[in-house]
A and B are shown apart, each in its own frame.
Chain A
Amino acid sequence: MEHAQYIIDSTQEIFSSMIMLEVTPGQPYERAHEPLRNSISGIIGLAGSTKGLLAIHLPNSAALAVTTAFLGMEVEEIDDDVRDAIGELANMVAGNLKSALDPSGSDIKLSMPSAVHGEEYSIDCLANSQTVTVPFSFNGDNFLVELQFRQD
Chain B
Amino acid sequence: MGRTVLIVDDSNTMRKIVSRSLRQAGLDFDTILEAGDGQEALDVLGGNKVDIILSDINMPNMNGLEFLKAKSENAAIKDIPVIMISTETGADIIDEAKSYGAKGAIKKPFTPEMINETLGALL
Contacts and interface: CB of A to CB of B under 8 A. Distances in A.
Given A17-B109, A70-B17, A88 B11 contact: yes
Interface stretch (B42-50, B72-80, B86-94): B86-94
Interface string B80-122: 0000001111111110000000000001111100000000000
B89 A99 contact: yes
Contacts of B92: 104-106
B26 interface: no
Interface residues of A, number: 29
B58 A92 contact: no
Contacts of B108: 18, 91-92, 95
A142 interface: no
A18 B13 contact: no
Interface string B12-29: 111011001000000000
Nearest to A107: B90
Nearest to A102: B90
A113 to B, nearest CB: 7
Given A81-B13, A92-B109, A72 B60 contact: no
B60 A112 contact: yes
A37 to B, nearest CB: 25
Given A70-B13, A87-B11, A110 B88 contact: yes
Contacts of B20: 72
A140 interface: no
Interface residues of B, number: 25
B121 to A, nearest CB: 21
A91 B60 contact: no
Given A95-B86, A103-B90, A18 B11 contact: no
Contacts of B107: 95, 99
Interface string B52-64: 0000001110000
A91 B91 contact: no
Nearest to B89: A99
A17 B110 contact: yes
Interface centre among A13, A95, A106 (most CB of B within 10 A): A95
A56 to B, nearest CB: 14
Contact of A94 (B14, B87, B89, B109): B87
Interface of B: 10-14, 16-17, 20, 58-60, 86-94, 107-111
Given A67-B13, A92-B108, A106-B92, 7 more contacts: A17-B110, A18-B110, A84-B13, A99-B89, A99-B107, A103-B90, A110-B58
